[in-house]
Structure 1
Amino acid sequence: MGVTMALFYLTLVLSILGANGAGEFSILHSPESLKFTGTSEVEESLLKEIFSASFGLSVDQNSAWNGLSIVDPFNTPEAIVEVYVEGVSSLGSIVEAKARNYPLVVDEYEPDTFKVIKHRIEQRFSNGGNTLTNIQLSNPGEFQSFFGVFGELAPPKVPKQTLQHLKNDVEEDYQFLAELEALKLFISKINAGAISPDNIIDFYNFRFRSLHALSDLHGPNSLQAKEAKKLLGEALTELSKAFTKAYDGAVLVTAVCTDVAHTRRAVRSARLPRQASSPATPGPDTPMTPSGAGTPSPSANPSTSYSADYAAIFNILLWFGVVFVFTLVAIVYAIMDMDPGRDSIIYRMTSTRMKKDN
């Protein structure tokens, strides 16, 4: 009985962890050589194997997931694009209607998809020449490192615009709009001809971080969050069209949404800083600046700063505590249900019929 209760509590804890790890894997465009079918869920740790198989590279992990079929192994995609969106479990029907969506089981806190794909491509193509980009849209200071791929990338500005619910003077809204403009900057460069096919496989990873903080502030079902999802969905559709045109259709474009639990303050550490030229709230035309540009005065923000590892450490301690408490309860319950005459060595050792030394 005690073992049964322990298993029950352990299952309960794992189900809670799984509920906090929901997400969605969306196929925005796939070439004719690949066929995605079904609606079965896929584990996030399997994405690197899906991308590797799509490229025709060797895979390390076998899986029963049957959502991908290689129709033509001799015409695999020349490029794969992954847009990683933090803070929401799904963009729903906001992305283009022909997209195919799969429930995503988020079994990795910090996925290593880009790192593994990059390593496999570099092993396969020792002569180099592959375009391998990992773009953090929240950090425009790194954009110039992609000059060889996209050309000159000036820090984008958040333009004056009239939106129904999002406001430029709300920090979380502004950070979202700034990242959105950064994504549009890359779309414009692709449409301008910065990328062209060269028969060498490429991998592009874009990371969109600010939607989580916006959702925390306004609520996941708020009008602001819905408007933000709509704007992002439209941008992803344009990104898919731009890459499809650039590679003549020989590209796999995907989006990965995940709502893995983060605290709001931990997410804020990765946000775009505003210009330090004025202590007041910037206007709509304030450009995004590189991280660390400008030092705020000591009285500007007295709140406690958190390291980038805060969220990971918090989750480890939290769920270890939950598992420990339920395990302790199960052990106490098992002891309470114990038969003293049969199970306890204490009662056997103190039996009245035990021989005594004279």
Structure 2
Amino acid sequence: MTHMTDRNRSQEKMAVAKIRFLVCGFLAIFISSGLCENTLFVLNAPKSVQFDSNAGPINVDEIQDVLTLSLGLSPSKDVKWSGLLAGNLFKRPKSSVLINIESNEGSALNPKHLASFPIAKEAIGFVETNYLMSSISTSFPTQEPILIDAAIDGQLFSLGSQYPNVFGNTPDSLDALLHSLVHGENSIIHNYEALSLNISKSSHLQFFSELQMLQNALEALTKNKAVVDDNVPDSMSFTLYGLRAIQLQHGPKSTEAKEASAVLESFLSQLSSGFMKLYDNNAVVMAVTTQRLPHFEHRMGRSILATDENPTKDSLNVFQRSEEFSAIFNIILWLSVILVLVVYATAYGMWYMDPGDTIIYRMTSQRIKMD
């Protein structure tokens, strides 16, 4: 009897332990999903740069410093995140490549990666690389590293003006890019199957155009490999807005959004492999998913690919004048003209005034005679 009682008690303890484990696991998943909507993906990295997969969430403002440390440079501040492990100090990566991906909240983008880390929700947004690029320029003042910060929407078209010897043949306008998308041998559209996506729609065109420009940039660097075969680290930062544009137009759970996510995941895998091959398997390639927040909207520029079918005065970037502007302008203008003429006439008359015609001169003359 006593044996049965002890057995029942042990079973009850095991059941309670299982329940506690499940509750704790559920709470952990709930908390992590509530605090960490965005993700940092380490798509590729050399063996000299190791990451701790159990490091936990990272603040978005620490990602730039993590990249800076991985290149063997001093960070802008102390990094509290412990995910970057100590590597080989004498063999640093030749380049860092960062891709910011704006997506709708709750979208499940999961490209092929070496490691992934959630981003703390209280500090999300686009990853800045200004300090990283400034640090490279300061550390190598006599060299010319490749430093690209195409973080503003549409800035990918300016690569040719920044590095004409490397990106001079890349499309510099939407018309040139459209021809490359439709008739080019290496067109993104021909490489990926997406039956529901059509470049006749502005959001679809923006999505494919951004991917095409990234592919063109990689191909241009590959053809001019001599510019990266040096002892100076490079840094490249790109931001993709096309996925969220599709999600906003069709919904995050739509067929178009799912196909766009699948195309982007496959493209990121190929792009990462291309950069690794370019830098002889010695580059750090990362991708960050993020959602737009009101206090980060100043980072957004108007897309050169997006056009309004029926533009209005409010949608155009023009100065809006008040209805009373014309009247106020004419009043100020003609009042100023009249005042100038009055002052000029008064000064002219006083200058050529006859002393005998005014009481001022007569009074002054008499006082002098009396003295």
Q: TM-score range by the shorter chain?
A: 0.5 to 0.7
Gaps of 5+ in 1: 1-17, 276-295, 308-358
Aligned to 1:147: 164
- 1:140 deviates by 4.8
Residues 53, 59 of structure 1: 8 Å contact kept: yes
Deviations 1:276-322 (A, max 9, x none): xxxxxxxxxxxxxxxxxxxx9xx932273277xxxxxxxxxxxxxxx
Say if 2:248 is the partner of 1:233: no
Q: Superposition pairs for residues 275-286 of structure 1, below 5 Å?
A: none
Say if 2:292 is the partner of 1:271: no
In the aligned structure 1, how far is the partner of 2:154 from the partner of 2:81? 33
- Which of 309, 314, 318 is matched with 1:304 structurally? 314
Residues 31, 252 of structure 1: 8 Å contact kept: yes
Q: Which structure's residues are more often helix, by fraction? A: 2
Larger radius of gyration between Structure 1 and Structure 2: 2
Q: TM-score, normalised by structure 1?
A: 0.65
The percent identity for this pair of structures is: 21
- 1:164 deviates by 2.0
In the aligned structure 1, how far is the partner of 2:36 from the partner of 2:293? 7
- Which of 52, 65, 68 is matched with 2:68 structurally? 52
> Measured at CA, do residues 269 and 253 of structure 1 come closer, stay the same or move farther in structure 2, by a change above 3 Å?
closer
> Measured at CA, do residues 267 and 93 of structure 1 come closer, stay the same or move farther in structure 2, by a change above 3 Å?
closer
Q: What residue identity is the alignment partner of 2:177?
A: P
Aligned to 2:87: 71
Q: TM-score, normalised by structure 2?
A: 0.63
Residues 194, 263 of structure 2: 8 Å contact kept: no
- Which of 109, 117, 132 is matched with 1:117 structurally? 132
Query: What SS does the corresponding residue of 1:68 show, helix, strand or coil?
Result: coil
Q: Superposition pairs for residues 129-144 of structure 1, below 5 Å?
A: 129-136=144-151, 138-144=154-160
Matched pairs, number = 268
Aligned to 1:322: none
In the aligned structure 2, how far is the partner of 1:124 from the partner of 1:267? 27
Aligned to 2:254: 222
Aligned to 1:35: 50
In the aligned structure 2, how far is the partner of 1:303 from the partner of 1:268? 20
Say if 2:164 is the partner of 1:164: no
Gaps of 5+ in 2: 1-32, 183-188, 318-371
Q: What residue identity is the alignment partner of 1:170?
A: K
Deviations 1:30-81 (A, max 9, x none): 0111101224111100011101110111123223322111221110101000
> Measured at CA, do residues 91 and 174 of structure 1 come closer, stay the same or move farther in structure 2, by a change above 3 Å?
same
> Measured at CA, do residues 236 and 58 of structure 1 come closer, stay the same or move farther in structure 2, by a change above 3 Å?
same
In the aligned structure 1, how far is the partner of 2:83 from the partner of 2:220? 32
Q: What residue identity is the alignment partner of 2:39?
A: E
Query: What SS does the corresponding residue of 1:24 show, helix, strand or coil?
Result: strand
Residues 118, 132 of structure 1: 8 Å contact kept: yes
- 1:116 deviates by 1.0
Residues 218, 224 of structure 1: 8 Å contact kept: yes
In the aligned structure 2, how far is the partner of 1:46 from the partner of 1:269? 24
Q: What residue identity is the alignment partner of 2:138?
A: Q
Deviations 1:102-143 (A, max 9, x none): 111255566462111112112222223221111256345413
In the aligned structure 2, how far is the partner of 1:128 from the partner of 1:209? 32
Query: What SS does the corresponding residue of 1:49 show, helix, strand or coil?
Result: helix
Q: Superposition pairs for residues 238-253 of structure 1, below 5 Å?
A: 238-253=270-285
- 1:177 deviates by 1.8
Aligned-CA RMSD value: 3.3
In the aligned structure 2, how far is the partner of 1:133 from the partner of 1:118? 9
Aligned to 1:104: 119
User: Higher mean Cα deviation, 241-250 or 138-147?
Assistant: 138-147
Say if 2:124 is the partner of 1:126: no
- 1:201 deviates by 0.7
Residues 96, 235 of structure 2: 8 Å contact kept: yes
Aligned to 2:234: 202
Residues 111, 265 of structure 2: 8 Å contact kept: yes
Aligned to 2:77: 61
